[in-house]
Amino acid sequence: MDRPWTHLRAALVLVAAYAMATLPLEVGLPGEDVLFLLQRPLRIRQGWGLYGAGPDHAYRLEVWVDDGLVYRSQDPDHTWRFPLFNHRRTKPITVSYCHGEKGRNERAWRSYVLRAVLEDFPEAQSVELLCTRSPWPGDQPQRFQSAVTSAPRWRWRSR
Amino acid sequence: MNPWTWWVQRVGRPVDARPITLVLQLVVAVLLWDLLSIAWLDLSDAVLFLEADGGLTKRPQSFSILPEPWGGRAAWVTAILAAPFIVAGKGRKIALVVFLVAHSQLGHWQWPGDRGIDRILRTVLVVLLFSDASRDRPPRRVAAWPVDLLTWLLVIIYLDAGYAKLDAEPGWLSLETNELYTILADPLAARLDGVWWAPYQWFFALGGLFTLVLEFSAPLMLFRRTRAMWAVGGVFLHVGIWATMGLGIFPAGMLALYPILFRPWTEKALDRLGSWSGREPPPVSVPPSEG
């Protein structure tokens, strides 16, 4: 119990507990900057404001191919490429697009969806990514924003 | 006894290593499942490549050291190859370092998809890396500090999640448009039909009350008498999240940490499993000093 190692271990555990308790608060306590820097390489920054609030409206994504609906959020009859829009690693981009946040990955996302459409519907002439917005409970969807592209140039236009 | 002596004795007190090792195995298994899902859901091009090469992410974050265009795929394959070694206990410490670096690099590479649960589970792995419980053949008893540190981490996570809910409008107890209702009926992220469930706001207000009480009572995890009781509520919370939301590994990842909260039962279950498989169970009675 009196070996130096046990004291060093106790001190390190104390530092770790201090970091876990104080870093989420970001109040500028001593050593905070150093601890933040240590966390960055492993992407383990502490800060857990998980699920504070829900969205202010009910947003839905719709994917239209040649005026035919192939995907709509929460619609069991239109589930084309469901994982692309709903996997936890891709969903944040879908959500960001539909909430109207001009995310850095929006262009890549649209291009990827277009390639997927042309893979599954090689004869397609137009594609629209439409986001609707409705006051809760979500039964009055209105066009919120959309991007359309069509053959032969396949350049996206926002509506 | 002075406080420092008490602290040194506390972090060094011996506990059964098996629940800690089990948490390590479960966490890595959950992360492995998540990594494999990228392939079987046909998302590897989308997730593992950058925009210039047909992926969804414009560019990686500054701490990425991965070369383009194959860096994301290399990190993904490396993490997948390292995971079974951690679960099986073969070269575990080295495999854990490799897995941590590869998984965090994948996080830097495809940062929009690297979520809170990834940070939580990597934090857990960093803690367990330094425990004797993550050796290939752990001793029967190890120092208790990883148990205390992970319990403390869970307390902070739940408290912070509760704190984040206080500013929400109209709020988690509202009978108008309850926050829990808007989360669980969000068409982009969850499974409940918002129209069908709209008349039952009282149900979500009760759920919101349960969530707030649970999250703000998280310090009960710190006490032996109340820890398991609190954890039962936590299990209900995460099973509810799993049933109603499409959050991927979040519920499973959090529940993977619960064997530590249910430690006496975990030890008994492992004893029975050991007897059933013909292995002699180690003596695992909880010492009186354990809190």
DSSP string, chain B: --HHHHHHHHHH-EEESHHHHHHHHHHHHHHHHHHHHHHHTT-HHHHHSBGGGT-SBSS--TT--PPTTTHHHHHHHHHHHHHHHHHHTSSHHHHHHHHHHHHHHHHHHTGGG--HHHHHHHHHHHHHHTSGGGSSS--SEEESHHHHHHHHHHHHHHHHHHHHHTT-SS-TT-SSS-HHHHHHT-TTTB-S-HHHHGGGHHHHHHHHHHHHHHHHTGGGGGSHHHHHHHHHHHHHHHHHHHHHB--TTHHHHHHTTGGGTTHHHHHHHHHHHHHHTTPPPPP-PPPTT--
Give SS3 for A144. Answer: strand
- Binary contact (B185, A137; C-beta < 8 A): yes
In Å, how far is B247's CA from the nearest CA of chain A? 6
Closest CB from A7, A50, A90 relative to B164: A50
Residues B168/B163/B157/B253 CA torsion (nearest 10 deg):
-20
- Binary contact (B56, A109; C-beta < 8 A): yes
d(CA B75, CA B79): 6
In Å, how far is B161's CA from the nearest CA of chain A? 5
- Binary contact (A53, B160; C-beta < 8 A): no
Give SS3 for A105. Answer: coil
- pLDDT for B260-278, tens place per residue? 999 999 999 999 988 776 6
CA A150 to chain centre: 26
List the single residue in A with minimal CA-CA distance to B147: A13
| Residue A140 contacts B, CB cutoff 8 Å | no
> What pLDDT is recorded for position B183?
94
- Binary contact (A53, B157; C-beta < 8 A): no
| Residue A4 contacts B, CB cutoff 8 Å | no
- Binary contact (B112, A136; C-beta < 8 A): no
Which structure tokens are listed for B189? 């992220």
Residue type, A35: L
In the predicted structure, residue B289 carries a pLDDT above the cut 60? no
Which of A45-59, B168-182, B195-209 shows the highest mean pLDDT? B195-209
Chain B residues with CB under 8 Å of A17 CB are 148-149, 152
In the predicted structure, residue B291 carries a pLDDT above the cut 60? no
Asked if B117 and B254 touch (Cβ cutoff 8 Å), the reply is yes
- pLDDT for B211-256, tens place per residue? 999 999 999 999 999 999 999 999 999 999 999 988 889 999 999 9
Q: Which parts of chain A are beta strand (E)?
A: 58-65, 68-72, 126-134, 142-150, 157-158
Chain A residues with CB under 8 Å of B35 CB are none
The pTM is what? Answer: 0.93
Chain B residues with CB under 8 Å of A79 CB are none
What mean pLDDT is predicted for residues B171-179?
Answer: 93
Residue B43: band (very low, low, confident or very high) from pLDDT cuts 50, 70, 90:
very high
Residue A143 main-chain phi, psi, to 5 deg: -60, 130
Q: Give the residue from B244, B30, B48, B234 showing the smallest Cα distance to B118.
A: B30
> What pLDDT is recorded for position A1?
54
Closest CB from B12, B156, B194 relative to A1: B12
N- to C-terminal Cα separation, chain B: 17
How high is the mean pLDDT of chain B? 92
Query: Could you give the C-alpha distances from B186 to A73, B10, B23, B172, B195, in angstroms and in order?
Result: 9, 45, 32, 15, 11
What mean pLDDT is predicted for residues B18-43?
Answer: 97
List the single residue in B with minimal CA-CA distance to A94: B188
| Residue B216 contacts A, CB cutoff 8 Å | no
What mean pLDDT is predicted for residues B194-201?
Answer: 96
> What pLDDT is recorded for position B280?
59
Q: Give the residue from A99, A49, A136, A142 showing the smallest Cα distance to B178.
A: A136
**Per-residue confidence in pLDDT tens, chain A, 159 aa:** 568 889 999 999 999 998 888 888 777 777 788 888 888 889 998 888 788 888 999 999 999 999 899 999 999 999 999 999 999 999 999 999 999 887 778 899 999 999 999 999 999 999 999 999 999 999 999 999 999 999 999 999 987
> What pLDDT is recorded for position B256?
98
* Residues of B (119-158) whose Cβ lies below 8 Å from A: 119-120, 122-123, 126-127, 143, 145, 148-149, 152-153, 156-157
Q: Give the residue from A48, A67, A75 showing the smallest Cα distance to A128.
A: A67
Closest CB from A13, A21, A108 relative to B156: A21
Beta bridge partners of B92: none
Residue A91 main-chain phi, psi, to 5 deg: -60, -40
